[in-house]
Amino acid sequence: MKNKFVYFFGEGKADGNGQMKDLLGGKGAGLAEMTNAKIPVPAGFTITTDVCKFFYLNKEKLTAEIQLQISQAVKKLETVSGKKFSNVENPLLVSVRSGAKFSMPGMMDTILNLGLNDKVVVGLAEKTKNPRFAYDAFRRFIQMFGNVVLGIGKEEFEMVLTKKKDDIGAKLDTELVQSDLQDLIGGYKKLIKSKLGKEFPQDPKTQLQMAIFAVFKSWYNSRAETYRKLNKIADDLGTAVNVQAMVFGNLGDDCATGVGFTRNPATGENKFYGEYLTNAQGEDVVAGIRTPQPIVKLAQDMPGVYKQLRDITDRLEKHYRDVQDFEFTIEKEKLFMLQTRIGKRTAQAAIKIAVDMVKEKLITKEEAILRIDPEQINQLLHPILDPKVEKKVIAKGLPASPGAAVGTVVFTADQAVEQGQKGKVILVRKETCPDDIHGMDAAQGVLTGRGGMTSHAAVVARGMGRCCVAGCESIKISEEEKLFKAGDIVIKEGDWISLDGNTGEVIPGKVATVEPSLSGEFGQFMKWADSFRKIGVRANADIPRDAKVAKNFGAEGIGLCRTEHMFFAQDRLPFMQEMILSDTEDDRRVALKKLLKFQKEDFKGLFKEMDGFPVTIRTLDPPLHEFLPKNKKEAEELSKIIKIPVEEIMAKTEALHEFNPMLGHRGCRLGITYPEITEMQVRAIITAACELLKEEKIKVVPEIMIPLVGNVSELKDQKELTIKIAEEVIEEQKVKIQYHIGTMIEVPRAAVTADEIATEAEFFSFGTNDLTQMGMGFSRDDSGKFIKVYLEKKIFADDPFKTLDQNGIGKLIEIGVQKGRSVKPHLKIGICGEHGGDPESIKFCHKVGMNYVSCSPYRVPIARLAAAQASIATSVTRDK
């Protein structure tokens, strides 16, 4: 098997098999597997991903040995199919498709009808007795080849086509007759000659070689690179090339082509699901240019073929133990399966399918849990359009990807990116294409005028978890005028609309949204997850409203309450500012006293909401100048309220200016230099806990957390002060409560001296945002300028502020955990940086032995799932 670069499949036998995804790509392995399973698949061969790698290593050339193996495969294909390249009577036509290990829909370019030329087209016309089909196929082939292989813009071909249609007064492509198509072929060939100074290649073998090279080259086109980056697919996998004998769904009305899923990919319902187009080629379905028929109609049109399709796809689902996404073509009532793969699905569908399959005993609970990408369930955790609100529906399309989207309308992907930085946008397109991906990513939702449930827009939006209403044919979109019409109603760029991805409804204006709930299959699934999970999940929440969301999502406590957020409210900020602007401790105490009552009520609200769950409260962290007026106007307004002269406010603000506020007078440094601030906060926390116990019998054990500790002496100082005040309050309140004092580990020095710090701390919470900033020397606010280049140049695999840098910052965490526990073996350790909601980082937290992660309320279920997966993965590893 050494140096085997080409794998043949056909006549119920394949060189490869379904396990060989690395080498044959997902599609190639699937074709081999299906062939071996006696599923009707057009014969063909797969050129391995190794060849792609050699291609790049070998200055974009193929060795003689590889060329030879390809020729031999072509010969075998000719034998098996009984057709021949360049044979006018019985021509072999092939498709050339890319196929990487991971499915990258629409990313890689496909060429159909390869093998056609001026002579063969005549033969094909005769053989099929359908000259229009033959010339249309040739026309399409030249167009595709010209674009994908020769690199001429699609719009150049479109211009030739449009001109022809204008000339004869046609609106649709189907109005073109044979002679029109022949004219068009001439026009296309002229275009190619004028662009490249070379003729369109007539020799099928040359066509094939060029097409194979083009597939390899497309591996590094920018759409492919973007997709891989978005989906974290490695660049060095390479793609395979699948060359397969063409079958035709467009030879007449006894032909068809279609795509389908064994279960509904939007809802997960266990119902055969798909679409087809009669007399069409596959790409007509996917491109969304014509809106296809639902598959049930096939049962009426061709009942025998429909039954065969149902049998085959059922076998496929059982075989692969997962939902299948398949493509088929019916040539003269004969069924060919072109492809099958694991079906992409919405989060909602993924959960339902997983739960159903456990109930059907097709998979285990562990498998069900490992099968859901935690990131994906994010889709289920965001608001939906409020069902109670009356909505003025102006149009209805296909519910292509669920959820709600509310935003201002934009008509180009670039606009979506630009406007999307300022606010929420909805991308409206006649249809989307791979060039639009960055815009879809930037938008809240996507609305298209054409295309079905498997159109590009629908597939990509579901993958991204974007709400999508597709094929909304009742609206008229003018991308040039930057507006769309729904009957008389005109929606212009910048106007607000709302989309309901669950119903396909389009509503003008902003519709209110409501929180989703974890009920039904989702609730069931999360319960299973919790049963495997070993580490706790808490939420970062500063106000009762957030705490409530978190608790509903299953948070087992608050891991980080940032008290400073409480001071930014309109009714508190002036007192905070007064405190900061005070020159003496006495004046500061006066202002702090005013803040005390607010703080106490804030904490009572939080404690009450969490009803006995632990609540970790961090003392004041940000540099004080963050609270002060940003300009003279704000200073003047403040001056009126607190009666301090504008000049004095400005001068103090200036004096508090810092060169590097991130490394400045903040965190525990505030509490150490202004102990009265810590005193006030501790007083508020403990009083709140005491009062709540007395008033409502709610037992709270507050966890007071000192930020930015780098040295045990800092913690000691603040701890002594905290205990002093806490004991004073407890004595005043005449009630017994418990409290804990711990620290953030977010300064690198704290991690490497964690053994010292642990002697004074009752718990650690890793503040990985700051630990990343300081540990890497990266200011998050400034790194945007160069981190992009770092990702492009592959200096970083990931943005370290999104996914924990396990190799570096993770090392500091490991040192911190190990040193901390060396002194206190049962030290409670958690994480409260943004990484606490990132699945990869959660797995790391599990691995190093943390007790809990804390993340934003909306990410709590994601964290629960990721934690469960980490447990299962670990026990699987252990079992091995």
Shortest distance in whole angstroms from residue 589 CB to its own copies: 18
Shortest distance in whole angstroms from residue 710 CB to its own copies: 5
Which residue shows structure tokens 């050494």?
Answer: 2
- Token code pair at residue 800: 């370290």
In DSSP notation, 640-667 reads HHH---HHHHHHHHHHH--S-GGGSS-T
Quick check: 625 and 649 in contact, CB under 8 A?
A: no
The dihedral through the CA atoms of 520, 525, 531, 537 has a sign that is negative
Alpha-carbon distance of 742 to 821, in angstroms, equals 14
- Token code pair at residue 750: 């704290």
- Token code pair at residue 502: 């669950």
Q: What is the DSSP letter of 494?
A: T
Shortest distance in whole angstroms from residue 161 CB to its own copies: 38
Per the annotation, the verdict on 846 as an active-site residue is no
HEC readout, 580-608? HHCCCHHHHHHHHHHHHHHHHHHHHHHHH
Quick check: 646 and 628 in contact, CB under 8 A?
A: no
In terms of CB distance, is 343 or 710 closer to its own copies? 710
Q: What is the DSSP letter of 145?
A: I
Which residue shows structure tokens 């920018």?
Answer: 222
In terms of CB distance, is 109 or 717 closer to its own copies? 717
Which residue shows structure tokens 């060919």?
Answer: 336
Alpha-carbon distance of 12 to 9, in angstroms, equals 8
Which residue shows structure tokens 């397969």?
Answer: 244
Quick check: 423 and 438 in contact, CB under 8 A?
A: no
Quick check: 491 and 509 in contact, CB under 8 A?
A: no
Shortest distance in whole angstroms from residue 829 CB to its own copies: 18
Interface residues toward its own copies, by CB under 8 A: 658-665, 667, 669, 672-673, 708, 710-711, 713-714, 717, 746-749, 752-753, 756, 770, 773-779, 781-783, 785-786, 789-790, 793-796, 805, 807-809, 811-812, 815
Q: What is the DSSP letter of 346?
A: -
Strand, helix or coil at 612? coil
> Out of 668, 832, 845, 855, which one is annotated catalytic?
832
| 767 annotated among ligand-binding-site residues | yes
| 562 annotated among ligand-binding-site residues | yes
| 239 annotated among ligand-binding-site residues | no
HEC readout, 848-870? HCCCEEEECHHHHHHHHHHHHHH
> Out of 52, 255, 456, 467, which one is annotated catalytic?
456
Residue 645: is it exposed, middle or buried by C-beta count within 10 angstroms (0-12/13-18/19+)? exposed
In terms of CB distance, is 703 or 756 closer to its own copies? 756
In terms of CB distance, is 117 or 773 closer to its own copies? 773
Going by C-alpha positions, the residue among 652, 763, 668, 755 that lies closest to residue 707 is 668
- Token code pair at residue 313: 């796809």
In terms of CB distance, is 574 or 664 closer to its own copies? 664
Shortest distance in whole angstroms from residue 743 CB to its own copies: 13
| 373 annotated among ligand-binding-site residues | no
In terms of CB distance, is 314 or 720 closer to its own copies? 720
In terms of CB distance, is 272 or 778 closer to its own copies? 778
Q: Which residues contact 404 (CB under 8 A, 6 or more apart)?
A: 382, 383, 384, 385, 445, 467, 498, 499, 500, 501, 502, 511, 513
Going by C-alpha positions, the residue among 372, 264, 379, 327 that lies closest to residue 41 is 327
| 275 annotated among ligand-binding-site residues | no
232: alpha, beta or left, given left = phi > 0 and alpha = psi -120 to 50? left
Instruction: Please give the C-alpha separations between residue 284 and each of 181, 459, 476, in angstroms, as whole numbers.
Output: 18, 15, 21
Shortest distance in whole angstroms from residue 667 CB to its own copies: 8
Shortest distance in whole angstroms from residue 235 CB to its own copies: 14
Alpha-carbon distance of 733 to 727, in angstroms, equals 10
- Token code pair at residue 189: 């060939």
In terms of CB distance, is 574 or 661 closer to its own copies? 661
Per the annotation, the verdict on 456 as an active-site residue is yes
Alpha-carbon distance of 655 to 639, in angstroms, equals 17
Q: Which element (helix H / strand E) includes 256? A: strand 256-261
Shortest distance in whole angstroms from residue 624 CB to its own copies: 10
In terms of CB distance, is 401 or 783 closer to its own copies? 783
In terms of CB distance, is 189 or 669 closer to its own copies? 669
Shortest distance in whole angstroms from residue 816 CB to its own copies: 11
Shortest distance in whole angstroms from residue 47 CB to its own copies: 32
Binding residues for Mg(2+): 746, 770
Binding residues: 562, 618, 746, 767-770
Q: Which positions are catalytic? A: 456, 832
Binding residues for substrate: 562, 618, 746, 767-770
